[in-house]
Amino acid sequence: MKIALLEPLGVSRELIDQLSAPIRASGHEFVYFEQKTTDPQELAKRSENCEVVMIANNPYPVQAVEQAKELRLIDVAFTGIDHVALDACRERNIQICNAANYSNQTVAEMVIGMTIALLRKFPEADKAVRNQKTAAGLTGREIAGRTVGIVGTGRIGMITAKLFLAFGAKVIACDPCPNPEAKKMGITYMPLKQLMEQSDIVTIHTPNTPETRGMIDRECFYSMKKNAYFINCARGPIIDNQALTDALNEERISGAGIDVYNVEPPIPADEPLLHAKHTVLTPHTAFLSEESMIRRAHIAFENVQAYLNGEPQNLCKF
């Protein structure tokens, strides 16, 4: 059987060799491409004769799926799978597994970091120092005592909630499937509009699905408190970026921390959020830490081994 890792996983070649050794020892062919590509034809070429391909967050398009005649499993070293040509996989009965949970802690910590950067005005403070300015106008705010609204209380949402609670915040939540653990922690569930109205800080932790796409719309942003902040380290299409931009530029909310967009970075110059006030913007790095990269590499290769053993794991419904 041929198995190909189509892009780097952010770890050393030594670790890739170590993790792939059992595959090769079992008599299977393993191929590793160390240079990332987004070219559909190149991806199709790399997938030739493969029964299993391994990817991260690089798009895997229709052309690659259709030309990979032997393909049976796409092993996604990432949480979301919306960058894979799902309809084409469905037609071919190709299975998809993921590496869910590898970045839970990393993403939750990023949310806290963005929140502190906004509340304590890090971008403005940095600019002040570089321009020989003082602390005038840089009075910040604390997390303690503020109400944090968490939209989506899965694993990342729950870790985020625990971190905010540790800072002394009050946490409320919105989720169609309330988490029993959250209720034990004293977290109150409520409809989305009510959460947006009551929160001082809103953070998004839902997947990108037909149900959630565009869920955070103009009405949501315009119902927020004027001194509230919005954080999105989940998926870009969940929110209406133009509506958020307008809310920021009209100073209807105090600021936003955004790590994800409608497209993967590099972000086009005409993206509205690039020209919005009071923002902390990062190029989709919430998942990216040394620790999380090592975790996902282990999970991805464990997924391959499970498939080879006839017991595929972490399979996704799509």
Residues with catalytic function: 235, 264, 284
Contacts of 174 (CB under 8 A, 6+ apart): 149, 150, 151, 152, 189, 190, 191, 192, 195
Query: Shortest CA distance to 105 belongs to which of 157, 166, 159, 169?
Result: 159
Could you give the CA distance from residue 41 to residue 21 in angstroms, rounded to a whole number? 29
- Angle of CA points 14, 16, 21, to nearest 5°: 95
- Sort residue 54 into left (φ over 0), alpha (ψ -120 to 50) or beta: beta
Distance of CA 304 to the CA centre of its chain: 23
Bridge partners of 258, per DSSP, are 232, 281
Cα torsion for 40, 41, 43, 48, to the nearest 10°? 140
